[in-house]
Amino acid sequence: MGNYVLATTATEDAMPDMPRGAINGGFFPRDPAMPAQHPSVVIAVPDIGAAMAAVNRAGGEVLGEPMEIPGIGQYVAFFDTEHNRLSILQPLDRQGCA
């Protein structure tokens, strides 16, 4: 995945059976052009567009447009109303999980 390194606690086969309790993530090089790079909570959502709209309605700020993470899904970061940086991810459909 280029410069993005995955760190997982569940195998891909187990992920559909483990919607909770598994922590998966990754690491990437810092880029001065991208704001607020630090460890972040990523929330899986079934519809990234609807989740982005909900963030905006609640007073948050979506940071750019969703980007495709190959083999993973659509991802975008946002600031909540207290300016905490979080992210949302619409995972690729894995056996009906997305």
Domains of the chain: 39-98 (3.10.180.10)
Give the Cβ contact number of residue 89 at 10 Å.
19
Distance separating alpha carbons of residues 28 and 98, to the nearest angstrom: 24
pLDDT band at 96 (very low <50, low <70, confident <90, very high): very low
Write out the H or E segment, with its range, that includes residue 54. helix 48-57
pLDDT in tens, 12-64: 554 445 455 666 777 777 778 877 667 778 888 999 999 999 999 999 999 99
| C-beta neighbour count of 36 within 10 angstroms | 11
Q: What is the pLDDT of residues 50-61, one digit of tens each?
A: 999 999 999 999
